[in-house]
């Protein structure tokens, strides 16, 4: 997995947009989306487990 710091992103964005710059930005966006998806997925599964556990006592 590729990792970029905020400094490298600002340096990339400061220059003229090239194919390489667009590729870096695309990679950053994909990584951010994957991270967001995994975070939401984790929280959703956690809450569903808690709710299913609590629903066993409700009935």
In a domain, 33, yes or no: yes
Mean pLDDT in residue range 5-17: 57
Q: Which of 18, 38, 19 is nearest to 30 (CA)?
A: 38
28 burial (CB, 10 Å; 0-12 / 13-18 / 19+) is middle
| Domain ranges, residue 54 | 6-58
In a domain, 1, yes or no: no
Q: How many domains does the chain have?
A: 1
pTM above 0.85, yes or no: no
pLDDT tens-digit readout, 15-59: 566 788 888 888 888 888 888 999 999 999 999 998 888 888 876
């Amino acid at each position: 997995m590729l990792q970029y710091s905020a400094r490298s992103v600002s340096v990339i964005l400061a220059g003229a947009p090239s194919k390489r710059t667009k590729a870096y930005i695309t990679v950053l966006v994909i990584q951010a989306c994957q991270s967001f998806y995994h975070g939401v997925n984790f929280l959703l599964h956690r809450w569903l487990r808690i709710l299913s556990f609590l629903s066993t006592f409700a009935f």
